[in-house]
């Protein structure tokens, strides 16, 4: 497993998205996923307080009991959780941190991320509260998610000793908006980029093929992310599959390798429901695409 820098942290190039925990995966299944990840050299686990209404953090903390030193834990706050209003004002941040620490059963969160911008709270107030958490030792690094480049710059312009070490936005071969400005900003300012939905809601796993029915209990079948499963994208998938197979690889491996080719990316966050999926994801990023191969893929996508 390759490891890359994220602020002061060293994270595995393949990470585990824990959004399935407490939703599609129970505590036993979550523990099996965590065990398989650690065995594969994956140390980065990304969750959020809203995943599974708090159960994702609980299941992750339980699964890592006694092995905290082997894991880098990232979680997020800001979206409405239960009766709370959400947001990023200082008082809510303080309550959210303590809630996540309790559910995760840890003393420190490695990466604490604002899940989405809060238009009702000045970013300077948010950054001050996050810096207080850093000084108190409750978090080691801070990050943001779903931020535009303008919002990233506004946060960076605020007073304070520490700024965002990472930004987590959607990015995959099928969703490339980040290339316009956020990824260049990350390269310029040395902020780590964490792509979520790297497999385009499962479209790039290879199990969705043109002219074939969607698998049962899949995101495509359940209409999760319906804008992804379009006839145009399914047609592109066929071409991408042909390209990958001509080089002895799968579409899944191509999706990871394509992202891994960007040095701005520190960890590719992919959800997994089973140990087998964890192992497949862990091995996928080992393919190193050559410049001519990247150019060929770009022509397919464009």
Say which residue the tokens 């393919």 belong to. Answer: 287
Asked if residues 56 and 88 have their Cβ atoms less than 8 Å apart, the reply is no
Q: Are the CB atoms for 182 and 149 separated by under 8 Å?
A: yes
Q: Is 84 helix (H, G, I), strand (E, B) or coil?
A: coil
What is the rounded distance in angstroms from the CA atom of residue 302 to the CA atom of residue 16?
A: 29
Q: How many residues does the structure list for the chain?
A: 302
Contacts of 207 (CB under 8 A, 6+ apart): 215, 218
C-beta of residue 105 within 8 angstroms of C-beta of residue 65: yes
- SS3 call for 196: strand
* Residue 51 among the catalytic residues: yes
Reading the block at residue 252, the tokens are 């899944």
Structure tokens at 297: 């893929």
Assess contact for 260 and 13: CB atoms under 8 A. Answer: yes
C-alpha neighbours within 13 Å on the C-beta side of residue 263: 5
77 strand-pairing partners: 114
Those residues whose C-beta lies under 8 Å from the C-beta of residue 92, and which sit 6 or more positions away, are: 77, 84, 85, 86
Annotated catalytic residue within 3, 51, 171, 208: 51
CB 13 within 8 A of CB 3: yes
Contact criterion met (CB below 8 Å) for 213 and 238: no
Q: Which residues carry out catalysis?
A: 51
């Amino acid at each position: 497993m390759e490891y890359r820098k994220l602020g002061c942290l060293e994270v595995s190039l393949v990470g585990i998205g824990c959004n399935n925990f407490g939703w599609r995966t129970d505590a036993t299944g979550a523990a099996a996923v965590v065990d398989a990840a650690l065995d594969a050299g994956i140390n980065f686990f990304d969750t959020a307080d809203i995943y599974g209404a708090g159960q994702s953090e609980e299941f992750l903390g339980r699964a890592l009991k006694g092995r905290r030193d082997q894991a880098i834990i990232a979680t997020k706050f800001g979206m409405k959780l239960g009766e709370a209003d959400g947001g990023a004002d200082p008082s809510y941040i303080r309550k959210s941190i303590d809630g996540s620490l309790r559910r995760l059963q840890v003393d420190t969160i490695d990466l604490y991320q604002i899940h989405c911008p809060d238009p009702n709270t000045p970013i300077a107030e948010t950054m001050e509260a996050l810096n207080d958490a850093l000084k108190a030792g409750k978090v080691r690094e801070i990050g943001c998610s779903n931020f535009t480049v303008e919002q990233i710059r506004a946060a960076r312009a605020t007073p304070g000793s520490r700024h965002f070490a990472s930004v987590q936005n959607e990015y995959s071969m099928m969703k490339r908006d980040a290339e316009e400005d956020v990824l260049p900003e990350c390269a310029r300012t040395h902020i780590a980029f964490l792509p979520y939905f790297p497999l385009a809601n499962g479209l790039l796993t290879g199990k969705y093929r043109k002219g074939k029915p969607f698998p049962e209990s899949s995101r495509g079948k359940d209409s999760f992310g319906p804008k992804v499963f379009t006839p145009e994208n399914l047609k592109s998938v066929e071409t991408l599959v042909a390209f990958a197979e001509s080089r002895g690889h799968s579409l899944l491996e191509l999706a990871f390798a394509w992202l891994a080719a960007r040095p701005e990316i520190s960890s590719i966050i992919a959800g997994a429901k089973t140990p087998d999926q964890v192992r497949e994801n862990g091995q996928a990023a080992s393919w190193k695409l050559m410049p001519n191969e990247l150019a060929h893929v770009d022509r397919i996508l464009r």
